[in-house]
Structure 1
Amino acid sequence: MHPNDPSLRSFLAIDPASDFPIQNLPYGVFSTVGTQPRVGVAIGACVLDLALLETEGLIDLEGATDVFAQPSINAFMALGPELWTTTRARISQLLRHDHPELRDNAGLRQRALLPLADVTLHLPLQVTGFTDFYSSKEHASNVGVMFRGKDNALQPNWLHMPIGYNGRASTVVVSGTDVHRPRGQLKPPDAAAPTFGPCKRLDFELEMGVVVGQPSAMGGMLTEAEAEAMIFGFVLLNDWSARDIQQWEYVPLGPFLAKAFATSISPWIVTREALEPFRLHGPAQEPLPLPHLQQQGANNYDLRLDVDLRAPGASKPAALCSTNFKYMYWSSVQQLMHHASSGCAMSVGDLLGSGTISGPERDQRGSLLEISWNGAEPFDLPGGGQRTFLDDGDTLTIRGWCQGDGYRVGFGAVAGTIIPPR
């Protein structure tokens, strides 16, 4: 049976609302007390220790050894798409309710299946490079209206290519890592000169992250099929943003320190193959992109995304946003095609941020910049208080999933709490 078959069942009891049914099998890196980080997959409320299964000979990686006994997924990704497919199928087989190999081996099952509540999750990949895009038409239009007016909302180049900039791989962190409020140069419009100090307009950006699992040659280009095959999977991504630092520094070269202090990702990489049933075509692109950016496939995904904010001491969080990845104007495949089109070499472990994901409705705005309309429209918190941007002690959480027939393919969550400057 295909690993995406909706009728598949695991021998483990899995809640239908779980993000991690047998149809998902996302990869992550975990450790337990006294052990080294290693690769596993999430299944229900457990993590399956792939390093142990590799050692026991239950997973064949065609001559490669110690692939899963690594503190990142990079070594496995480097083995290529064919092995990604066969390995996922093998893991699915081992977890099926009607397959006895692991199900009936009580000793191995006890060692290989560990409760998620008992493990520590780590950054799942070694990030070799991080690029952030700006590919939601709704988000770009909102920001453009805010700062340039309705008649000049989109810059002339926006409809012709995915706009992006190179960020910092060194400050990509796993969910649960506290985020220090950044410092930088600040210059309000009415100030005569800048000052240096803590950011006062700290924001989140709701994004998806594309994990590149195969390299491309310097000097070359990528077809649509080649770019798609290079994508190993996706993570939830929060590209924290210091709006007041950004406003002063971004002319003429774009974001720099305002985006370099922290980028949070979820600990689980959901494979491109697991998302296959949820693919759909994105918005119509007018004008038609240049030939090297045209796509024929359905390269968007019906993937729900929710964001909430919990203030210090609050009894419940405030729901900020509920939107969908399907709204993205430029697809992840187009972003990768564009990235390589100049001859830029892509590497195993590159991470591409989708850019803020907003939808057409007011409750689908994927940043506080939009939600509070640059601070002009404060929003209420449960139990009292208001926000325009993030305060110290606030915890921001993003969740995402694709809903199948009786199961969901989810990402868990990416969360971070704002703490004072170091």
Structure 2
Amino acid sequence: MSARDWIEKDFYRELGVSSDASADEIKRAYRKLAREMHPDANPGDAKAEARFKAVSEANGVLSDPVKRKQYDEARRLYGGGGGFGGGGFGGGRGGFDVNDLFNRAGGAGAQPGAGGLGDLLGGLFNRRGGAGSSATRPRRGEDVETDVRIDFTEAVKGATVPMRLSSPAACGTCNGSGARPGTVPHTCVNCGGAGLVTRSQGAFAFSEPCPDCRGTGRIIDDPCPECGGEGVSTKTRTLTIRIPAGVDDGQRIRLAGQGEPGRNNGPTGDLFVRVHVNPHPFFGRSGNDLTLDVPVTFAELALGTTLTVPTLEGKVTFKVPAGTASGRILRAKGKGIEKRDGKTGDLLVKLLVTVPNNMDAQAREALEAYAAATAQHDPRAELNALLESKGRSA
């Protein structure tokens, strides 16, 4: 593939994102498409395989800030996939000078440091012999994200959770080399290990992936039978994940070095585990505090009582004074959630009056007698006064 063909590709369209998409948006789009189009999920589907390669190529450029900047600038100068624009080639009126556009080193009229599309292509394609070729430069592996669901009590106290995870990993047969055990890859003679070759087309000089080694810089004469020379295979592995005490619903836990393997001896990516917490039938949570709604009768609040309520580890007793209002919150110090920093929250008990659905004749008679005895007490006196003032002003 020539540099011109490469630039005329619309990588943003391949990933389904806008040209001003953020790095996170590009990453999410790539991961979604990669999962859908991966050959393992579409065995024998040539179109899905081609699409997978296309989105991988697009991600390889757009996920690298330097390459993305060079790609955007090159497309701006080149015409964004629409050719070289009106006026055509040449230096006549309405056209442009090819040497001015590419500013090739050593070309007539070239000015050192003048930049132009040639410099962009040089950086984007890493011309043969240049230091830091992308084909051989170590690259960090992709991060992997998965989900785990735990109970409310496990989130409060912490837990150790086993998890089975299927993801790319370094091939165990060849240890990531891609070559059959007992053999080693050798440097590609055609590109000298750079992974890129330069060819001329008239006034143009293009760098493109080496056709012999497919841009890897290495030749594998005897590929590994397990991974087919890729050095990476999808494996199902069992991990033991330590969930810290006090983890929040939706929180992500990072396991360094448990993601996808790097390329060319690059570091392994990380594994991010997103925790989902099942709700508790009685307890709730507010920061580090546990919450608990406790139903009480009117008589208990009016006359006072002693309440014993559960905690996650035992029980606690409260003295409820006479005349306590419904909705009052009682606090039990240190009976909440302990975080890794050593701080522990409280248990917040909310008292809520319950009204019986049905009453027998004796209970109704007693309640009516109470209502008559307290008829002079108006709990809405202040509210009624406000209503009367509103009525007078209307």
- Tell me the TM-score normalised to structure 1 length: 0.22
Q: Which has the larger radius of gyration?
A: 2
Considering Cα pairs closer than 8 Å and 6+ residues apart, tell me whether 1 or 2 has the greater RCO: 1
- Tell me the TM-score normalised to structure 2 length: 0.23
